[in-house]
Amino acid sequence: MNTIKQMPAHTRPREKLRERGACALTDEELVAAILGMGTAGVDVRTIARQVAGLIREHKAALTLEHLLAVPGVGLAKAGQILSAFELARRHLIKDTVRIVTAADVVPLLADIAGKQQEHFLCISLNGANEVIEKRTVTIGLLDRSQVHPREVFADVIADRAAAVIFAHNHPSGDPKPSDADIAIHEQLTQAAKILGIRVLDHIIVARTGHYSFQETGLVH
């Protein structure tokens, strides 16, 4: 097998990417484009072929140990591959989550349930009640001046969302809503009606459990 330097310039992975786009590259060529070069003992194309095979085999379960077992792959090259995967996972690849009940939402709020400050989140959904995005609107003590409809709905409108779910945590551990929580909910619900956006639920999470406005009849 020829090394990349021995290949015609227009067939080299990075040059091919520049001319035809990343979608034109094979799995092996994509890996080679990420790595750039091999080692003194192993050509990058040989490494890329084995790494691409591991990716096809293990997919999201690919680990550092899998990659380090490939001759010519050290921590630096394994880190390049796994870092590329993680960036794609965070920003490009999203599992579709469809919301039917409050129980479907609670796992999305696990990251704020035990926080020592109150976090107010807004989840935007499409017409099929599938999650488009989850965003933190405010952090700190919640009141009606901080949780303003303008801040809550700006990104929701940009998402072209059909519905929203509001959520926040109670550091006290008691998920029952306060009078202030109900007032914020009513203010945001009125704004949503004006915008033609459905409010599916408002969920409060705490270490001891959760409270659903929809399940208790506070969503109308």
**Blockwise average pLDDT, block size 10, the chain, 220 residues:** 57 82 87 91 92 92 95 96 88 80 93 91 94 90 73 93 96 94 95 97 95 93
Q: Which residues pair with 168 in a beta bridge?
A: 120, 204
List, in order of start, the domains of the chain with CATH numbers.
4-90 (no CATH), 102-212 (3.40.140.10)
Amino acid occupying residue 105: V
Cα three-residue angle 167-161-157, rounded to 5 degrees: 90
| Beta strands in 117-188, from DSSP E residues, in sequence order | 119-125, 131-139, 163-169
* Chain CA centroid to CA 213, Å: 26
- Residue 13: Cβ-neighbour burial (10 angstroms; 0-12, 13-18, 19+): buried
Q: What is the pTM of this model?
A: 0.61
Alpha-carbon distance 38 to 168, whole Å? 49
Angstrom distance (rounded) from CA 83 to CA 88: 9
Amino acid, single-letter form, for residue 158: A
**68 and 75 Cβ atoms separated by less than 8 Å:** yes
Question: How confident is the model at residue 75, as a pLDDT?
Answer: 97
